Chain A
């Protein structure tokens, strides 16, 4: 294969991805510096950083930023701890293991709008939901999940979907763990915790880092779960940055402010992405 042909074969993917990246990106940056509201097409012109100021001083901004951090942080904590525990639990031969595995990772393949509706209606509904029935049966009062604990409800739903992802990754890496080393440690009288701390955990250090980084990228962008269940409410109690920008663009039709928010979201995601790219780069052997 000569150099010209190589270039021709590689060009389409590179050029198309470049367009896909650079056009929307530069438009977002451009829109964020001009007056641009679909409801008032007559107002135009360059306004510098006013859109950013407007976005940052929006009373919903700080709560949304805080919600985003709480959401990402809690889901990460829950999924990594639960994922590790469960991956270690099923990392042993037993009858029906493949069935248990399938049951454990299935939630990850359920589309986000479906899982949001299942949790919202059939499980968390304060009147007809299953949790309410359980509470009644135990003599308590049903919790108004989405009304009283909107952010917690979202955290539970997202954790249910993403713990299987952590399990899947940890399970895969546990299989590549050196079994002889573990047997030797057992013979030397090392207990479960000693083995876990000194052998398993170091072996899983990289997968854990990768799971955390990838989940951060995805969880910064959580949208469907909020859209379908709480619509960001009550008030802004479960509004994250993604949802706030969506509201700015689709309900206030303010392209300028929504773009300023978009730039902010891109910067936030890039802080995580830098670390992720570095971690991936180490494994990609060329």
Chain B
């Protein structure tokens, strides 16, 4: 065997194992989606069924019997609300930090990131009691505020990095024309930064959507998001596998798609900008 043949063989083996890994990691998701199309009896059949006549009854039933829309709405309101609030606070700040970088800018950003490292459970009691005091237990407002503050540091950092990539000359040109700061943001910066803002929003939505500590601890039914709703299926053992799978599939599908779209921002956001 020549060196070249050996290289090709090695490459084939690597590709083979890459596929083995890909199939293994994806299998639980595949199995979940599949189970969502089984009847409850098929779902717990021994041995598990790979081939069966698919049914849509779970998807119709989770709507009529479990009010799926209520929890999905809560997830949408809290993650979009939290993201919007974080963006509203972060855009002006990140903008001014990027274009008027001062002596303290880096320290301020680093301090912001350090707040992200505070473990949620460390402040569980104060947050819980504050919410209780203001009647905000099981309320979407509390989750929106918490999610916004939780993601603010990451949103700040990514936006800061985006704004910095905008060439300063463009701004100077518009300033020469006597544009006000507000118009400068609206007419010059926003169109250029739009893609960055959109993908930052996407990342923030993903993080809010999958958040499972505060939603479980602070909500019971009214404001429960999908993560908390799914968690409520833990108790009755072996029941409703097919319906849980259908709920899970619906709950995860949009976020998996978002995740694929936001891969790059995800790397930057989750590593706090350390890997780009």
Contacts and interface: CB of A to CB of B under 8 A. Distances in A.
A250 B217 contact: yes
Given A12-B89, A284-B106, A210 B217 contact: no
Nearest to B247: A114
Report whether over half of chain B's contact residues are helix, strand or loop; otherwise say mixed: helix
A83 to B, nearest CB: 10
A120 to B, nearest CB: 8
A105 interface: yes
A129 B19 CA distance: 24
Given A118-B28, A122-B245, A221-B119, A109 B206 contact: yes
B227 to A, nearest CB: 5
A133 interface: yes
A24 B17 contact: no
Contacts, number: 312
A232 interface: no
B213 A283 contact: no
A121 B117 contact: no
B212 A6 contact: no
Contact of B156 (A13, A173, A228, A259): A13
B56 interface: no
Given A31-B125, A163-B25, A284-B273, A111 B113 contact: no
B96 A5 contact: yes
B25 A229 contact: no
Q: Assign chain B's interface to a size class.
A: 35 or more
A110 B259 CA distance: 10
Contacts of A272: 117
Interface string A10-49: 1011101100110111011001000000000000000000
Given A246-B124, A250-B217, A25 B110 contact: no
Contacts of B234: 116-117, 120, 227-229
B29 A107 contact: yes
Interface string B1-29: 00000000011001101110111011011
Interface string A56-95: 0000000000000000000000000010001011101010
B121 A92 contact: no
Nearest to B3: A189
30 contacts: A13-B152, A14-B108, A90-B18, A99-B22, A103-B25, A106-B26, A109-B210, A110-B252, A113-B228, A114-B230, A114-B251, A121-B238, A122-B241, A128-B46, A128-B238, A160-B25, A172-B264, A172-B275, A173-B275, A207-B271, A207-B275, A217-B119, A242-B119, A246-B121, A263-B122, A265-B121, A269-B119, A273-B117, A277-B117, A280-B110
Given A14-B93, A113-B228, A210-B271, 12 more contacts: A10-B97, A16-B89, A27-B130, A109-B210, A110-B256, A118-B245, A128-B45, A137-B47, A172-B275, A221-B120, A228-B234, A241-B121
Interface of B: 10-11, 14-15, 17-19, 21-23, 25-26, 28-29, 31-32, 35, 43-48, 89-90, 92-97, 99-102, 105-106, 108-110, 112-115, 117-130, 149, 152-153, 156-157, 181, 206, 209-210, 212-213, 216-217, 226-228, 230-231, 233-234, 238, 241, 244-245, 248, 251-252, 255-256, 258-260, 263-264, 266-267, 270-276
